[in-house]
């Protein structure tokens, strides 16, 4: 695939081999969440029930909603404090030298969200299972209903704030020629033509639309050359810094990871995304299709 950072992904074959090798350092997590459409965005439901039905051997369940979100923010998903994350990761059995793999039985965006969080905490060995549980099942690989033994870990969290953007930073980027904001939602939601919205329709001014599904082929990331073509067509690779956003900071991590895979050094995720932006009536939204790249 010729990625600049190939270790950010792991193939089903390589994961199968790692499991067979019975490495004591391997920590495998299902982070599935289901989205139920509502009049304003979606309601998120834990995927724990799906995990109990079948999962990859050795997999534990990590609940993004309960364990990895600040539930007091009033938004669906918000990055909690470094102390909160450290406690959650240690409770999940993650050590500083753990080989961590995240996957989802649904869309891969949940795994990329979990990846982006742990990556931003300074963990050096964390990957997303490319293709997720669907690809694993399609290949006829082993599944189980057994839970792995509980562990406690010693991971140390050092949060890199530059990998996240807040509302003020995103607003400042609107007319900053060195920064490009990208909207990871579908073209219909981006333009405001979709029935569904997050409270107000449209997109942040001057943001480009890179629909997350453009970056995937049958549930796996496209090769580096194809990812580069997508981002080059939007003029993104010419920008010093990129801020990715979506509805709630989830799909944006798929765009952000794709950029990281091909070597972009300065990418941030707007954590509050549209769910936060629309609540401030003073912040404009633009409707209509994407303007052509400069």
pTM of the model: 0.95
Distance CA 130, CA 124 (A): 18
Residue 178: alpha-carbon gap to chain centroid:
24
Q: Give, to the nearest 10 degrees, the angle between helix 109-120 and helix 251-261.
A: 70
How far is CA 97 from each of CA 52, 61, 138, 151, 287, rounded to the nearest angstrom?
Answer: 27, 20, 31, 14, 47
> If one looks up domain 162-277 in CATH, what number appears?
3.40.250.10
Which residues are marked as active site?
A: 246
Q: How many CB atoms lie within 10 A of CB 66?
A: 11
Query: Among 208, 196, 184, 179, which residue's Cα sits nearest to residue 286?
Result: 208
Looking up tokens 């580069």 gives 228
Per-residue pLDDT of the chain in tens (294 residues, 90 and over written 9): 799 999 999 999 999 999 999 988 999 999 999 877 666 556 778 999 999 999 999 999 999 989 999 977 777 789 999 999 999 999 999 999 999 999 999 899 999 999 999 999 999 999 999 999 999 999 999 999 999 999 999 999 999 999 999 999 999 999 999 999 999 999 999 999 998 888 899 999 999 999 999 999 999 999 999 999 999 999 888 889 999 999 999 999 999 999 999 999 899 999 999 999 999 999 989 999 887 655
Q: Output the 3-class SS for the chain.
A: CCCCCHHHEECHHHHHHHHHCCCCCEEEEECCEEEEECCECEEEEECHHHHHHCECCCEEECCHHHHCCCCCCCCCCCCCCHHHHHHHHHHCCCCCCCEEEEECCCCCHHHHHHHHHHHHCCCCCEEEECCHHHHHHHCCCCCECCCCCCCCCCCCCCCCHHHEECHHHHHHHCCCCCEEEEECCCHHHHHCCCCCECCCCCECCCCEECCHHHHEECCEECCHHHHHHHHHHCCHHHCCEEEEECCCCCHHHHHHHHHHHCCCCCEEEECCHHHHHCCCCCCCCECCCCCCCC
Half-sphere exposure of 226 (CA within 13 A, CB side): 10
Domain positions in the chain are 6-159, 162-277
> If one looks up domain 6-159 in CATH, what number appears?
3.40.250.10
């Amino acid at each position: 695939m010729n990625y600049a950072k190939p270790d950010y992904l792991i193939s089903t074959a390589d994961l199968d081999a790692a499991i067979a090798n019975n490495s004591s350092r391997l920590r495998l997590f299902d982070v599935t969440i289901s989205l139920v459409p509502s009049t304003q965005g979606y309601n998120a439901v834990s995927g724990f029930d799906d995990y109990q039905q079948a999962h990859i051997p050795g997999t534990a369940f990590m609940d993004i909603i309960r364990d990895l979100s600040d539930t007091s923010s009033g938004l669906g998903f918000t990055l909690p404090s470094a102390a909160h994350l450290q406690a959650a990761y240690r409770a999940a059995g993650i050590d500083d030298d753990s080989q961590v793999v995240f996957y989802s039985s649904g869309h891969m965006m949940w795994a990329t969200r979990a990846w982006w969080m742990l990556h931003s905490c300074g963990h050096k060995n964390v990957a997303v299972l490319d293709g997720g549980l669907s690809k694993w099942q399609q290949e006829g690989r082993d599944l189980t209903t057994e839970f792995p033994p509980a562990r406690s870990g010693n991971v140390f969290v050092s949060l890199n704030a530059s990998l996240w953007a807040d509302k003020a930073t995103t607003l400042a980027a609107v007319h900053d020629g060195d920064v490009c904001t990208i909207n990871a939602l579908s073209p219909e939601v981006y333009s405001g033509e979709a029935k569904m919205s997050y409270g107000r329709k449209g997109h942040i001014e001057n943001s480009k639309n890179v629909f997350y599904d453009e970056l995937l082929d049958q549930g796996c990331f496209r090769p580096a050359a194809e990812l580069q073509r997508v981002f080059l067509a939007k003029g993104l690779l010419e920008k010093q810094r990129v801020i990715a956003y979506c509805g709630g900071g989830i799909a944006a991590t798929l765009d952000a990871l794709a950029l990281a895979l091909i070597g972009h050094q300065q990418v941030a995720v707007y954590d509050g995304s549209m769910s936060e932006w629309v609540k401030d009536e003073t912040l404009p939204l633009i409707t209509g299709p994407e303007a052509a790249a400069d």
